[in-house]
Amino acid sequence: MSKTQHQIDGRHGHTTNRRRRRSRSESLRSSTRLALGALRANPGRSLLAVLGIVIGIVTVSLVATVLVNVRNQIALLFRELGTENVFAFHLSGDPYSPASEEEARREALEPGFAEIIASRSDLVVAGAANILIPAVINGRAITVRAGAAVSDTVLLEGASPSYFDIVGAQFAHGRPFTELEDRSAARVAVLGSSLATALFGGDGAAALGEPVFLLGEPYSVVGVLAARRGGFFGENRQDSVLTIPAGTAARRFPEADATLLYLRAAPDRLQQAQVEIEAALRQLRKLGPDEANDFNLSTSEQIIGTFDRVGAGIALATVGLAAVSLVIGGIGVANVMIIAVTERTREIGLRMSVGARRRDVLQQFLVESLLLSLLGGAAGLIAAAALTAVLTLVLPGFLPVLPLWAVAFGLVSSCLTGVLAGYLPARQASRLDPVDALRHEAA
């Protein structure tokens, strides 16, 4: 075969391919126009058909948005407490949560352990004790008063003078305690930003040097902390804390024995320091080689990782629930498509009698099913975005941003639902005999 013939055959092949692509493109545009026309003709029925899809997408999107917001706030909260810190407590879980029956028998850590460990270890550069004082002392609820203002939601804690530096707390006004104030059990206090505002108004600057009355005893305010970042939907528990020196807490509130230790590791030595802290605490607690730890060690990243695992489980369960809604939505779409095939039998017969191929009919109804489901997915995402925007009005710090994976899940699951739900009705339509279809409609 000559070179010229090869060129002619090549041009012919390219022309044929272009015609095929053009034909497929025209067929798809035609199917899309017919599908949109059918959806506009029955909007109410279409809406009811995709209601399950909408509910499923809204559920996943809202839960995903809430989880992402909570995760980011919690991550910020614990990283703000120090990414180089090791937290030691005699219980596992939240120090403010009730202990399990087994852990309730454990003895609390001693405040002095922080300085002992820091002095013995080259990998621990600083240590501080944080004493958690119960909300009720001798049957009396802890309240704090300044003039006519009273707060009964205050959290009372004792702390070593170095505590504020170790956790990276910033002072809006004033200063932390001194070593002398701690040793002498002085009646001085540092207020969290929310507590200072509640008692003195404004940004709390007026609190400096003023007395606050704790269970009727006056404490002079020496410092007011800046608002902490992170927390639960913008609420940080530390902003409501009244902190007194650890020595004062030990003398005034001997019932308070829950102590949380903050131990700062040397730079880039966090894991090694954690191993050394564990060994030191076992020695201080006089644990034998075969005895399990009667305390818990954690770091910011470990706590965040635990929450991520819990969040992943919640997200997986939510996807499972959404799948049920999507199945219901798919059934609704399939029913609509079956009705559409039955109602438009004559239309199918006419199309096929004037040259439409079976695959054109199959494509027409698949496109209609796909568009129906995609509209449901888009409506679900829009509804979720609107509800998230509403949440920002009632939840401070909540960001109205749908995670990309939730958006992708909504669109992909809608497409799959449309294809799976519409395939059998579309296949049924494509197999109709044109003559039988016309005769059936005529009858």
Question: Distance between CA 37 and CA 33 in Å, rounded?
Answer: 6
Last residue of a domain, one of 294, 317, 337: 294
Q: Are residues 161 and 287 in the same domain?
A: yes
CB 121 within 8 A of CB 280: yes
Asked whether residue 385 falls in the same domain as residue 413, the answer is yes
The pLDDT confidence band at residue 423, using thresholds 50, 70 and 90, is: confident
pLDDT at 262 over 90: yes
Same domain? 289 vs 142: yes
| Cα 131 to Cα 394: distance, rounded to the nearest angstrom | 33
pLDDT tens sequence across 144-173 = 999 889 888 888 999 999 999 998 889 999
Q: Given this model, what pLDDT does residue 22 score?
A: 58
Q: What is the pLDDT of residue 200?
A: 92
The CA distance from 380 to 263, in Å, is: 48
* Average pLDDT value for residue range 263-276: 92
Q: What is the pLDDT of residue 17?
A: 57
Q: How far is CA 367 from CA 147, 339, 380, 428, in A?
A: 72, 16, 20, 15
Average pLDDT estimate for 292-301 = 90
**Is there a domain that residue 166 lies in?**
yes
Q: Give the global pTM.
A: 0.71
Q: Are residues 233 and 337 in the same domain?
A: no
Gap between the Cα atoms of 297 and 139, Å rounded: 32
pLDDT at 416 over 70: yes
Q: Is residue 356 part of a domain?
A: yes
CB contact burial 324-341 (16+ within 10 A = b; e otherwise): ebbbebbebbbebbbebb
Question: Does residue 280 share a domain with residue 412?
Answer: no
- 260, 294, 328 — which closes off a domain? 294
Domain of 397, in residue numbers: 27-74+307-442
Question: Confidence class of residue 23 from pLDDT cuts 50, 70 and 90?
Answer: low
Question: In this structure, is residue 338 part of a structural domain?
Answer: yes
Query: Does 335 lie in the same domain as 247?
Result: no
Structure-model confidence comparison of residues 313 and 440, the more confident one: 313
Res 55: pLDDT: 84
Of the candidates 189, 235, 178, the one whose C-alpha atom is nearest the C-alpha of residue 215 is 189
**Cα gap 325→321, rounded to integer Å:** 7
Q: How far apart are CA 369 and CA 339, in angstroms?
A: 12
d(CA 380, CA 386): 10
Q: Is 119 inside a domain boundary?
A: yes
| Phi–psi pair at 207, nearest 5 degrees | -75, -25
Statement: residue 397 has pLDDT above 90 = no
- The predicted pLDDT at position 420 comes to 81
End-to-end CA distance of the chain: 60
Beta-carbon count within 10 A of 390 CB: 12
Alpha helices, DSSP H only, in 354-403?
A: 358-394
d(CA 147, CA 211): 9
Burial 153-190 (b: 16+ CB within 10 A, else e): ebbbbbbbbbbbebbebeeebbebbeeebbeebbbbbb
Asked if residue 102 belongs to a domain, the reply is yes
Question: Does residue 375 share a domain with residue 339?
Answer: yes
Residue 442: the pLDDT is 44
pLDDT, mean of residues 186-201 = 93
Mean pLDDT of the chain: 81
Predicted local confidence at residue 303, as pLDDT: 81
Provide the number of structural domains found in the chain. 2
Residue 355 sits in the same domain as residue 390: yes
Hey, what long-range contacts does 102-108 have (CB within 8 A, 24 or more apart)?
106/294, 106/295, 107/285, 107/294, 108/257, 108/258, 108/259
Residues 242 and 143 in one domain: yes
Helix (H, G, I), strand (E, B) or coil at 141: strand
Percent of the chain with pLDDT over 90: 29
The amino acid at 403: P
Q: Of 266, 294, 322, which one is at a domain's C-terminal end?
A: 294
From CA 419, how far away is CA 237, in angstroms rounded?
Answer: 49
Q: How many CB atoms lie within 10 A of CB 307?
A: 16
Same domain as 122, residue 220: yes
Q: What is the pLDDT of residues 58-97, one digit of tens each?
A: 888 888 888 888 787 777 777 777 789 999 999 887 777 7
**Is the pLDDT assigned to residue 231 strictly greater than 70?**
no
pLDDT at 207: 92
Residues 113 and 261 placed together within one structural domain of the fold: yes
Q: Is residue 83 part of a domain?
A: no
Tokens of 273: 């320091």
Highest mean pLDDT among 31-40, 360-369, 408-417: 408-417
* Amino acid 18: pLDDT: 60
pLDDT value for 26: 64
Residue 101 contacts by C-beta under 8 Å, 6 or more apart in sequence? none
pLDDT in tens, 107-131: 889 999 999 999 988 899 999 999 9
Say yes or no: 140 and 40 in one domain: no
Which of these ranges, 33-42, 251-260, 329-338, 397-406, has the smallest mean pLDDT? 33-42
